[in-house]
């Protein structure tokens, strides 16, 4: 069953469910709410759709317990054929290993709004992961800001500014680790705001961008450890720049 594409351009869904009634009801509800839906009655059929590129889903809803290829084995095969988020669905509690292998779980019956909320969460995580990655082509320091500082003050004073930023970042990282461990969302955002402001004024681009992400996405605590790793890398890059530009 292929759903209708609407003006809302919501993501494509692949629904795998051996129960005809559940499959048709879920597909109809999602289609009526703007999703493009492909369906398969079994895991093997779903894999054929993906292999032939007849379906490029952003999310896969798969019944947790079906005859034939199912459970963790099916999840492994799906991941080999697609980058879609995999959501296990079931009318009862599925095996723990299935829940652990999938990206999310929905208990039947569920609404189209529940699917939308799940997708929004996955998109935020994907965007945050992509935005936080440090590119080798991303400048550590804004060259214009560095040039302006050099015009305004002696080299030793400019070096002192960036050395102070490196030292401050080390302290902020320790505070961030503590805030993340405690689940202190407000604390994460507050520290991110401070990093973004201070580093931004000095043109420390990588660290400032990561600080802004921490401030904006501080409630996504699962992603903050990766941001913290990138922040450490940005601080190390800044320290290397300091040694190269201002040798002792």
Report, as an integer, the average pLDDT of 137-145. Answer: 88
The pLDDT value recorded for residue 6 is 36
For the whole model, what pTM was predicted? Answer: 0.51
Of 62, 95, 130, which residue constitutes the final position of a domain? 130
Contacts 24+ apart (CB under 8 A), 193-200: 195/169, 195/231, 198/165, 198/168, 199/165, 199/169
Q: What is the pLDDT of residues 117-140, one digit of tens each?
A: 777 666 555 554 555 556 777 889
What's the rounded Cα separation, in Å, for the pair 230 and 232? 5
Domain check: are 21 and 111 in the same one? yes
Are 141 and 186 within one domain?
yes
Backbone angles phi, psi at 32, to 5 degrees: -65, -20
Domain end marker among 115, 130, 145:
130
Same domain for 28 and 58: yes
Of 6-10, 104-108, 198-202, the one with minimum mean pLDDT is 6-10
Question: Residue 8 pLDDT more than 50?
Answer: no
Under the banding of pLDDT at 50, 70 and 90, the label for residue 3 is very low
Residue 49 lies in a domain: yes
The bridge status of strand 85-90 relative to strand 36-40 is: unpaired
> Distance (Å, rounded) from C-alpha 223 to C-alpha 229?
10
Q: What residue has token string 């629904």?
A: 15
Kindly state the average pLDDT of the residues 104-113.
Answer: 82
Residue 227: pLDDT over 50: yes
CB 196 within 8 A of CB 204: no
Both 103 and 28 in one domain: the answer is yes
| Predicted confidence (pLDDT) at residue 9 exceeds the cutoff of 90 | no
Residue finishing a domain among 130, 150, 174: 130
If one counts the domains in the chain, the total is: 2
Q: What is the pLDDT of residues 151-165, one digit of tens each?
A: 999 999 999 999 999
Closest-CA residue to 103 (of 132, 73, 75, 63): 75
Is 4 contained in some domain? no
195, 93: one domain: no
Of the candidates 190, 208, 203, 35, the residue with the CA atom closest to the CA atom of residue 112: 35
- Domain with residue 98: its CATH number is 3.40.50.2300
- Quick one: pLDDT at residue 7? 40
Residue 53: what are its φ and ψ, rounded to 5°? 55, 30
- Residue 119 and residue 35 in one domain: yes
HSE-up of residue 195 (Cα within 13 Å, Cβ side):
35
Does position 200 have pLDDT exceeding 80, yes or no?
yes
| Averaged pLDDT of the chain | 83
Same-domain pairing of 115 and 149:
no
Query: Is it the case that residue 115 has pLDDT exceeding 80?
Result: no
C-alpha distances (whole Å) from 2 to each of 39, 114, 176, 212 are 7, 21, 47, 41
Structural domain for 104, as ranges: 12-130
Residue-wise pLDDT tens digits, 49-90: 999 887 889 889 999 888 888 889 999 999 989 888 899 998
Whichever domain contains 229, its CATH number is: 1.20.120.160
Residues 160 and 209 in one domain: yes
């Amino acid at each position: 069953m292929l759903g209708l594409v609407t003006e809302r351009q919501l993501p494509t869904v692949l629904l795998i469910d051996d129960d005809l009634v559940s499959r048709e009801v879920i597909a109809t509800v999602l289609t009526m709410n703007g999703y493009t839906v492909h369906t398969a009655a079994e895991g093997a059929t779903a894999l054929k759709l993906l292999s032939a590129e007849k379906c490029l889903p952003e999310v896969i809803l798969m019944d947790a317990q079906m005859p034939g290829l199912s459970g963790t084995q099916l999840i492994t095969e799906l991941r080999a054929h697609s980058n879609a988020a995999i959501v296990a669905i079931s009318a009862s509690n599925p095996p723990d290993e299935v829940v652990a292998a999938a990206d999310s779980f929905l208990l039947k019956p569920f609404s189209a709004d529940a699917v939308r909320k799940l997708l929004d969460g996955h998109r935020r995580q994907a965007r945050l992961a992509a935005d936080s990655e440090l590119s080798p082509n991303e400048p550590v320091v804004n060259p214009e800001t560095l040039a302006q500082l050099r015009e305004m003050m002696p080299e030793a004073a400019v070096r002192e500014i960036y050395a102070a930023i490196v030292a401050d970042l080390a302290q902020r990282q320790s505070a961030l680790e503590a805030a993340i461990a405690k689940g202190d969302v407000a604390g994460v955002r507050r520290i991110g705001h401070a990093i973004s402001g201070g580093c931004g004024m000095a043109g420390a681009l990588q660290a400032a961008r990561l600080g802004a992400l921490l401030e904006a996405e501080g409630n996504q605590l699962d992603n903050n450890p990766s941001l913290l790793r990138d922040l450490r890398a940005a601080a190390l890059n800044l320290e290397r720049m300091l040694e190269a530009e201002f040798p002792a």
